[in-house]
Structure 1
């Protein structure tokens, strides 16, 4: 069995596609006689006439044999093109993808996400930087950071970024296990008057949302201590130095092992949205892995 040359099959398919030998020759940047020679070679290889003749000259109408082989040659050439393009069009995988998140997410959320990224993409480095939401959005715009996680004020808008909401996190009130508040049934925000409330960074989105909630519910007289470190904040609450409004996921372990207690409120606290920001050059399979992992965490 002789091996058919691809250029001859290509000429055959091009004549059918373009509707004439001359147009096929132009498309392949060869002369019309060269097209005719390739068709003749293919017919010789197949021992069959592929195009009908009229007054001794080839037409572009297919013979029975031509119609029989056309779908197979057409499909084969499509597969060849796909095989070529899968490598030609394949995006270059970056060696490093920079991630940024706010401090508490770096402590509570990023270990789970990094575990999946390390397992699925061992050839890529994922350096982490802790930054504010404002810094994260700005750095992704400039390309300094590739992906980021942050709480976003619902009133904010970032039309020039890829922003995906990955979770709605419940906020709760927590205190030490022996705090007097644990003896009470469901309380009103106004019952917290003169309590020391430890706040994680007044400029933090959740802190602003909860501050507005307390003011709306007539709690204005309370002592406030600002701590910009989640670990210290939780330690102070455990020691009975104050109470705190925190995202439930941040104190999941402390609630489980009894180091902190949840205080029930008669009015539901507003939740906080967590968003995933990404740069356009980040491969889609990495984005999908992060979103799937985030959905599982929350």
Structure 2
């Protein structure tokens, strides 16, 4: 009998619904349903029933096992408290992200994690979204960031959408586009548009946007390195559609210019992948910090903010 299933059972009882319990545990509703089903299968008994199709209540069997499960969790928490003050040495929480995302968000995330959990190590690895999901489910990775949701069902993987990152058009400060009040897609005819990897999700999103707005006559150059791409734009060799978070420092310092558009560009979704066994305080720190980075409302956290 797995502890995570017992924890799910107790949280449903406490919150009164599967959806509220899933939110409290930072997992999806299908995941918490699977955990309850596994527990019911082991006990060979139904534990919950819905009243009027809405409120979730305990069955007779659920009421019988509740005090025992509650006591089990209490004893486990008590044992954790006994050794809580003992430092954790060399424990690693492995983080993965897709390519250049790490350059932009990892420093802020690691700063919070290092400050709040000084006894832990947080090694970083680069992976594709598909590989990332598989490795988290296999226990090789604990936390991951990706630009799109995996289509496969991984029961040990929680996926949380943390942002819709705004895409913008940037050019060199002395580019002719800076003289226009607001541009329409047709103003980019015959422009050289520098893209990061034609298979990259943002590149595809922008490509569909331009095609929808009937812009087809432009030169496209593919660069698989964001640093080089931004340098080429700064040198006036072309323009680029990028996520705003990637170029915010260059825009602030006047090295790049954000071109005003008559139509807003579609955003790029950002997802956070978490292993279901990740400690709750680490989950909370990662979720709050990640959302703060993309909303640009990062606050100063202390370890007490993330105590379970």
- TM-score between the two structures when normalised by the length of structure 1: 0.68
With over 3 angstroms needed to count, the CA separation of the structure-2 counterparts of 1:119 and 1:85, relative to structure 1, is closer
1:211 partnered with 2:203: no
The SS at the match of 1:273 is strand
Aligned: 1:170 with 2:185: no
Residue 254 of structure 2 corresponds to residue 258 of structure 1: yes
**Counterparts of 2:101 and 2:77 in 1: how far apart (Å)?**
40
Q: Is the 8 A contact 1:103 1:229 kept in 2?
A: no
Decide whether the 8 Å contact of 1:173 with 1:246 is kept in 2.
yes
Q: 1:191 to 1:88 in 2, by over 3 A?
A: closer
Q: Displacement, 1:88? A: 6.1
Query: Residues 256 and 185 of structure 1: is their aligned pair in 2 closer, same or farther, counting only changes over 3 Å?
Result: same
Question: What SS is found at the alignment partner of 2:121?
Answer: coil
Match of 1:32? none
2:108 paired residue number: 112
Structure 1 SS opposite 2:283: helix
Tell whether 2:131 aligns with 1:135: yes
How far apart are the structure 2 equivalents of 1:167 and 1:90? 38
Any residues of structure 2 matched to 1:138-149 within 5 Å, and which?
138-149=134-145
Specify the SS of the correspondent of 1:137.
helix
Q: CA deviation at 1:190?
A: 2.0
Matched, 1:157 2:160: no
Q: Could you say if the C-alpha distance between residues 121 and 85 of structure 1 is closer, same or farther in structure 2, counting changes exceeding 3 Å? A: closer
Query: Which one of 159, 170, 195 corresponds to residue 199 of structure 1?
Result: 195
Which of 246, 263, 266 is the aligned partner of 1:267? 263
- The answer for the alignment partner of 2:230 in structure 1 is 234
Instruction: Please state how far the C-alpha of 1:193 moved relative to its aligned partner.
Output: 1.2
SS of aligned partner of 2:182? coil
Give 1:212 deviation, angstroms.
Answer: 0.7
Q: Which runs of 5+ in 1 are unaligned?
A: 1-77
Partners of 1:195 and 1:283 in 2: how far apart?
50
Shift of residue 82, structure 1, vs aligned partner: 4.6
2:79 to 74, 87, 91: 87
CA RMSD of aligned residues (A): 2.5
C-alpha change, 1:219 and 1:84, in structure 2 (3 Å) is closer
Q: Tell me, what secondary structure is at the counterpart of 1:201?
A: coil
**1:99–1:88 distance in 2 versus 1, CA, 3 Å:** closer
1:244–1:84 distance in 2 versus 1, CA, 3 Å: closer
Tell me how far apart the structure 2 counterparts of residues 162 and 84 of structure 1 sit (CA, whole Å): 23
Give distance in 1, aligned partners of 2:80 and 2:249. 49
Helix, strand or coil at the partner of 2:91 = coil
Q: Does 1:279 align with 2:279?
A: no
**Larger Rg belongs to:** 1
The 1:85/1:290 distance shift into structure 2, 3 A limit, reads closer
Given the superposition, is the C-alpha separation of residues 122 and 198 from structure 1 closer, same or farther in structure 2, using an over 3 Å criterion? same
Distance in 1 (CA, whole Å) between partners of 2:97 and 2:120 is: 19
Structure 1's 209 and 295: CA in aligned 2 closer, same or farther, altered over 3 A? Answer: same
CA offsets 1:11-39 (integer angstroms, 9 cap, x no match):
xxxxxxxxxxxxxxxxxxxxxxxxxxxxx
- Matches of 1:84 and 1:269, distance apart in 2: 50
1:241 partner SS: coil
